[in-house]
Chains A and B, each alone.
Chain A
Amino acid sequence: MKKRIISILLVLVLVVGMLAGCSSGQSSEEPGKQEEGDKFGGTLNIGTFADPDTLNPLVGNDMAGSWILNLIYPTLMVLDENGIKQPYIIEEPEISEDGLTVTVTLKDGFKWQDGTPLSSDDLIYTYETLYEHQLQWQYEVLEGVEMKAVDEKTVEFKLSKPFPTFITTLGFWQRIVPAHIWSEVEDVKTFTNDNPVGLGPFKLTEYERGQYYVLESVEEWPLSPEGRPYLDKVVYKPYPDVNTMVLALKSGDIDLTAKEIPVAAARELENEEGFTVEQNVSLGYEHMAINLREPLLQDVKVRTAMAMAIDKSKVIDFAFDGDGIEMTGIISPVYEQFQIGNDLPSYDVEGAKKLLEEAGYKDTDNDGILNAPNGENLSFKVIFANTVTEHEKMARVLVDQMKEIGIELIPDPMDKALQTDKLYNTHEWQLTINTWGILDDVDSSVSTLFYSTAPLNWMGWKNDVADKAMDEMKSSLSEEITMKNMDIFQKEIIADLPDIPVFVKKLNFAYSNDFAGFKMFPSNLKGLVDPQSLQQVYKVK
């Protein structure tokens, strides 16, 4: 009897505790400090999916880290809402007529958070350190580049050959660090940067790994509409599971999701009062890459038949709940100027079957799978990261679609790190489903993926004509030459098909209507948490 009473009491305590927990979530609104009509004040809680790998902006390259570091350390250039790169802390860069001299001038009024003014020394220090230690991938951009400080605010870069997207690439991707602090650091590669001194609308004041990252607004930020951010604080909270993150948004624990949310959750939140769901488009795309080292996959007819067997609209419907745009060529439809009619083979099951039959593939052993002339089954393993939902679903759809033309696909989900190892190092794979992340400056970025010696070209594609076209595109100073070579490149890659592009994701982000003033930037790297958005977000009173 005693036991029963105790257990009833325990249950009561639990229930009361749960109720208290629920209600505190909703009533956590702080009373505004300012008078009505005034936008200042408030804390914005943002859901992220992981802790940053590191707070060192020279080596950090992960998305969760970028969301925080972008608020603390500035880049020279940023994306605008249309995905075009614009100067951020610099004036419009000047490029000489021969394309070999690039001059950038810092805007006035920027100070590091310890009061030291931002100067050309900081730029030079950052880029020199980057190149000296070969950090990230951006150092490659600095190959053969000489730089000097013309004055306190101006830096001049001398390039060895024309590279029109030099400053947009370097300026967009590389965050600047303060030379007066970092020159004291012993080893910049391993420096953990626990107490960052940055330059941006917010400063990191307190954090606990796995728990929270508190960023307080700075006193002065010239790029905010009223000279400083409206919000008092921005707090990032990691939720490794996206379903939990959505629940946290609903219960009021967070006000915004930095990471995109599943389509089903987005539809649900749209119908609920108090939340806004906004959508943007990824700057990369989802694709199925082919390992050209595999004998059976070296036959371009097999690759073409596979491309013809994919019903992209069905893939989008089931893998991504219809929230996607079909890839028609090798360049994402987001970049309209490069849609020049070099289309992928269109969906045609009968045509694909015929193509394979003509090439001599027959089901000689009656197991429903075509056999190559040497008797081998057209059966391929497709590897993908087991944490990426849409890739698993995409694999399930593709298994069915390939079965239609007599090709067997065996899905093989694995740890992301293992997949990366296979792609980059061991080359032990046949097909892979993957995402090309952000493809900015398409005319130069295609060569980072498809150039015969590019590290990302794990397909092993080698085409001299395409290589030459990519080289010329990269250093082209006229639009005519760019477009001519783009056409050559597209024709070659579509004829060879080392990679089958499938779709561009539309991404959903949600926020509580207690806040307003958000601006949406392309891709999930920027989304609603780009500094240009958060520097002007305010709490609705």
Chain B
Amino acid sequence: MSKEKRYEKEVKAFLSHRLGMIGLIGVAILILIAVFAPFIAEPVSGYGEYEEKLLPPSSKYWFGTDDMGLDLFSQVIWGTRSSIRVGIIAVFIAISIGVPVGLLSGYYKGLFDTIGMGLTEIFLTIPMLPLIIVTAAVLETTSINTVAFIIGIFSWPSIARITRSTALKICGMQYLEAAKCLGIKTSKIIFKHILVNASTPIFVNLTIIMATSIITESAISFLGLGDPLAHSWGKILNNAHLSGAFGTAWWFSLFPSIAIMIFVVSFNFLSMGIRDALNPRISRE
């Protein structure tokens, strides 16, 4: 099958994947909101008017106000930005650690494999959240970037494993041995053959990392370890919890929760769509 034909088929399979399409649309909308946030809502900071504390949703404040008298709609919209930023930073870090570790382990094997997979194993077995909490406490400065960085540091093992397994599989194939015999450069083998083949599962995994990173970010912010001035969804939930109005001001926690749900579901659906479209066995069915 020619390359173009394969892509065509895969795109077709994706387009007919209902959940995948829902995910794609969801992600697209989120990205649009993040990019155009300044045109959708005025950013809020500090505190508002005392009389406007904890107002329920109205035509003026679509999502109501928080306990500092600030518009929640604006916070949720701007929260999209923080969330996508956290996701992208985390994904970037996960790739830049996971891929090299996986390649070294899978291609060179031996000592590299022992150390690389040992590290992966360690990071996979360490309970992530408590460690993140400790790291956040040690790092002291808690800007949204630090939080994203910490999440990235703990998300790479899955990427490393996938890259390694692809590398192992391909290294065992005859054409690669032939390529080696022909004296093709190692870098070319790694980039042209191994990485290209590993890119699909890595991409599927990245969308999952996007989704989990935002849950982790919410958890960190909810525990009060995030940036107090950032408008992230987790921080809004944390504020709602701290306000003591959890029971009465339902809008305070509802809207950020819905936002988190949409984000996570969209990325998960997207990853399902891509996975199914690229998996020849499933797309043929």
Contact = CB atoms under 8 A, between A and B. Distances in A.
B100 interface: no
A246 B241 CA distance: 12
Given A264-B67, A321-B67, 18 more contacts: A243-B241, A243-B246, A243-B247, A246-B244, A262-B242, A262-B244, A264-B54, A264-B244, A265-B244, A314-B47, A317-B50, A318-B67, A318-B68, A386-B225, A393-B67, A397-B47, A397-B68, A413-B228
A264 B248 contact: yes
Contacts of A318: 47, 50, 53, 67-69
Interface stretch (B135-143, B163-171, B172-180): B135-143
Secondary structure call for the A interface: helix
Given A264-B54, A400-B45, A392 B228 contact: yes
Interface of A: 242-243, 246-247, 261-265, 268, 314, 317-318, 321-322, 386-387, 389, 392-393, 395-397, 399-400, 403, 411-415, 418
Contact of A268 (B68, B242, B248): B248
Interface string B39-80: 000000111001001100000000000011100000000000
A413 B229 CA distance: 11
B224 A386 contact: yes
A261 B245 CA distance: 11
Contacts of A399: 46, 229
A418 B68 CA distance: 27
Nearest to B138: A418
A396 B246 contact: no
A395 B54 contact: no
Given A399-B229, A412-B141, A414-B137, A263 B244 contact: yes
Query: Nearest 4 A-B pairs (CB), nearest first?
Result: A262-B244, A400-B46, A264-B245, A264-B244
Contacts of A397: 46-47, 68
Residue of A317, A397, A411 contacting most chain B CB atoms (<10 Å): A317
Nearest to B50: A317
B224 to A, nearest CB: 4
A263 B249 CA distance: 13
Nearest to A271: B248
Contacts of B53: 318, 321
B225 A413 contact: yes
B243 interface: yes
Contacts of A403: 46
A400 B244 contact: no
A6 B167 CA distance: 44
Given A264-B248, A387-B224, A392-B242, A415 B54 contact: no
B46 A396 contact: yes
19 contacts: A243-B247, A246-B244, A247-B247, A262-B244, A263-B244, A264-B243, A264-B248, A265-B245, A322-B50, A392-B224, A393-B67, A395-B228, A396-B228, A400-B45, A400-B46, A413-B142, A414-B137, A414-B140, A418-B137
A389 B68 CA distance: 12
